[in-house]
Structure 1
Amino acid sequence: MAKSRYEVNERVFWLIYGMAQKNIYLDKVMVFFSRGGIYFYWLIMLYLFFTGDLKVKFYLFKTGVVGLIAVYLAKYLGRRYYFPRPFVEKGIKPLYPHAADSSFPSDHITGAVALTMGIWEVAKVAGVIALAYVVFLMISRVYVGHHYFRDVLAGAFLGGIVYYLLHFVFRLLIDIFV
């Protein structure tokens, strides 16, 4: 018999979170990436900005703006539709403290996916690195106990949708001014 989405979400959560607090080094790595993972994207974008031409600079500016809009939208949805975080709902201990606000969708992942798509657009190699990193970031957010699997998937979907919707508006502006 087919598993419901709730059962799949639960199983994936326990599969990933179940590894937490068993290896102190893995825990530290996951906490490091979960806490500061989004800064990785800004570093890549800064590098590309200073090494790219004018068109790359415009695309990266667009990417930053779209990333901020995507995160704002994720935060808005989190305030509008409350879903408790795993450590609130299940009474588990997260690897580091976090506010008991809504976990759905993950604003970390929403922003990371939007930035990854923009990075991919201007530099394919950096885009592949950013894409691999976003997958690792998704796992780390579940691993530390701050999100369910559905939260990071919804964040990835939202980041992608917002990027593509705003991509066309900014593309027209870039083509007009560059």
Structure 2
Amino acid sequence: MSHLDYSVFQLINHLAVSDRFLNPLMIFLAEKAQYLFFAAIIFYWFYPKANNRKMVVEAILAACAALSINGGIGHFFYRARPFVAHHVNFLISHAKNASFPSDHATAAFVIATAIWIWIKRDGWIWLILAAGIALARVWTGVHYPLDVTAGMVIGVSIAFAVHCLFSRFEKMNKVSEAIIGVYESVEGKILEKSNMLRKR
């Protein structure tokens, strides 16, 4: 499996030389595109549409759970990154920490899947972006294909697991509603004070 993984890595990573015109895009996807998912969380939270905030709560909780799982795996199963173990086309700077599984792929896929579960049309766009991030992490030399594949599996699985918990257990639903309720209560008070100040 490791030999196949490295062979596929070489094929993808060599594209940084043969198709170098795509390198700026891949560098952006590998380093910066994750912030688009943070922006998505903020956008959907404030976009006034039914169930958006429930979706965001699920996405955040799922992301926290998935990344915690990654941390545990990385602690007990350390795998050196490609640029540490091999000569690679290394396009971005990165710490020499655990390579497996990919946190970037996990975070991207867990949020994209959470969005897909609630809003299919938007979800496909985010899933394509998540796939782009996963590919770019290999292209730029910081992950093996198996790293990002594991991240994808963990992200997708945890997003569905969290959604199932909220769907099947009323207590979980109440937790979500309580979180949203606390925020909306604070938000209402801030808006009320803001309106009072304007009237003065």
> 2:106·2:151 contact (CA, 8 Å) conserved in 1?
yes
**1:177 to 1:61, Cα distance in 2 relative to 1, 3 A:** closer
Structure 2 counterpart of 1:35, from 16, 31, 35: 31
The equivalent residue for 2:7 is 11
Conserved? CA contact 1:109–1:138, under 8 Å: yes
Q: Which has the higher contact order (CA 8 A, sep 6+)?
A: 1
Paired-residue identity, %? 26
Structure 2 stretches lacking a partner, 5+ long: 178-200
1:57 correspondence with 2:53: yes
CA 1:91–1:70 in 2, change beyond 3 Å: closer, same or farther? same
User: Retained in 2: the 8 A contact 1:71–1:108?
Assistant: no
Give RMSD over aligned pairs.
Answer: 2.0
Q: Is 1:112 the counterpart of 2:108 in the alignment? A: yes
Q: How many residues align?
A: 174
Q: Could you say which residue in structure 1 is the equivalent of 2:173?
A: 174
TM-score by length of 1: 0.87
Tell me, which stretches of 5 or more residues in structure 1 are unaligned? none
CA contact (8 A) 1:85 1:148 kept: yes
Give the conservation status (yes or no) of the 8 Å contact 1:82–1:104: yes
Distance apart, 1:22 and its partner CA: 4.8
What is the aligned partner in structure 1 of residue 161 from structure 2?
A: 165
CA separation in 2, counterparts of 1:75 and 1:38?
Answer: 18
Amino acid at match of 1:67: A
Alignment of 1:44-123 (within 5 A): 44-123=40-119
With 139-148 and 72-81 compared, the bigger mean Cα shift is at: 72-81
Which whole-Å CA distance do the structure 1 matches of 2:67 and 2:32 have between them?
15
Whether the 8 Å CA contact 2:79–2:98 is kept in 1: the answer is yes
TM-score of the superposition, structure 2-length normalised? 0.78
1:156 Cα deviation from its structure 2 partner: 0.7
**Quick check: which has more Rg, 1 or 2?**
2
